[in-house]
């Protein structure tokens, strides 16, 4: 691919270096600069033939295509999870070992991957190398940038294999899949009712929890010297937030608010 002449310059040793005039990054090879420029331009010339998802790097597209074939030749000996590449397995193993070999020189925070460390460093430098050509908004990492681009393009690359519904991000797809599997991992600590989404649990806490359960919650959390037989006549110290409520109505509103914040 051709690059403007001003992108190239000679070093003291007479070798060419290639500079990005958008962010100042320097590369030894012209092709590396070409790949880098796609970060700024948003160009994604490689398309998955199965789902239509686009990629800026051919190797990434090939790796993605294996997800459709369910080809995961590398398995974790600890938990059995499969991976497409040996590198992905190596990074995953750090979850089990607790290894975090990459450190932030500014604050000392450690990370499992170099990419996570790099993204974190941009919080200190305020660097945002990913720019949306449509609205001009800037991002410090590629994943947020890619999700934002889908707002403009309407692209929904993640499909439900059961009903075909499409989503812009994997987390939303995973929440949707619980509808089909019947999984309800979010339970109300007051009445025990279960939900497939945290938002539904929050709605339940706000609206559906009976007052009797709220009072039971109050008495179970309060370390009173003796059981209060008539909660309407006594002040109650809320261990949830330390506030004191004197009226039944105030306590009801207060408890619902506190329970919501605890989620």
Mean pLDDT of 221-232: 44
Residue 11, in any domain of the structure? no
Q: 57 vs 223, which has greater pLDDT?
A: 57
Q: At which of 9, 39, 67 does a domain end?
A: 67
User: Domain limits at 28?
Assistant: 18-67
What is the total count of domains within the chain?
A: 3
The CATH code of the domain that includes 112 is: 3.30.160.60
109 & 167 share domain: no
94 & 127 share domain: yes
pLDDT, tens only, 3-20: 444 455 544 444 678 888
Residue 259, in any domain of the structure? no
CB 44 within 8 A of CB 38: yes
Residue 237, in any domain of the structure? no
pLDDT, tens only, 71-94: 788 899 989 888 888 888 999 999
pTM value?
0.43
Listed ranges 14-18, 130-134, 226-230, 231-235; the one with the highest mean pLDDT: 130-134
pLDDT, tens only, 240-250: 343 443 344 55
């Amino acid at each position: 691919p051709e690059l403007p002449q001003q992108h190239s310059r000679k070093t003291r040793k007479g070798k060419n270096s290639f500079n990005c005039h958008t962010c100042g990054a320097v590369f030894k090879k012209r092709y590396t600069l070409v790949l880098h420029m796609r970060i700024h331009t948003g160009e994604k010339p490689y398309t998955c033939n199965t789902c239509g998802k686009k990629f800026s790097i051919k190797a990434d597209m090939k790796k993605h295509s294996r997800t459709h074939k369910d080809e995961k030749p590398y398995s974790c000996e600890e938990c059995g999870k499969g991976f497409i590449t040996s590198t992905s397995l190596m990074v995953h193993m750090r979850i089990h070992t607790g290894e975090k070999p990459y450190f932030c020189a500014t604050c000392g925070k450690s990370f499992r991957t170099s990419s996570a460390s790099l993204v974190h460093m941009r919080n200190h430098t305020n660097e945002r190398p990913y720019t949306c050509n449509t609205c001009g908004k800037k991002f410090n990492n590629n994943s947020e940038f890619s999700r934002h681009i889908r707002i403009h393009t309407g692209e929904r690359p993640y499909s439900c294999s059961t009903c075909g519904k499409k989503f812009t991000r994997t987390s939303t797809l995973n929440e949707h899949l619980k509808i089909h599997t019947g999984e309800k991992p979010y339970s109300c600590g007051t009445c025990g009712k279960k939900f497939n989404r945290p938002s539904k649990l929050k709605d339940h806490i706000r609206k559906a929890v009976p007052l009797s359960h709220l009072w039971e919650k109050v008495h179970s959390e309060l370390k009173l010297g003796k059981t209060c037989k008539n909660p309407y006549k006594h002040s109650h110290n809320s261990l949830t937030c330390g506030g004191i409520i004197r009226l039944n109505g105030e306590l009801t509103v207060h408890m619902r608010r506190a329970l919501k914040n605890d989620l």
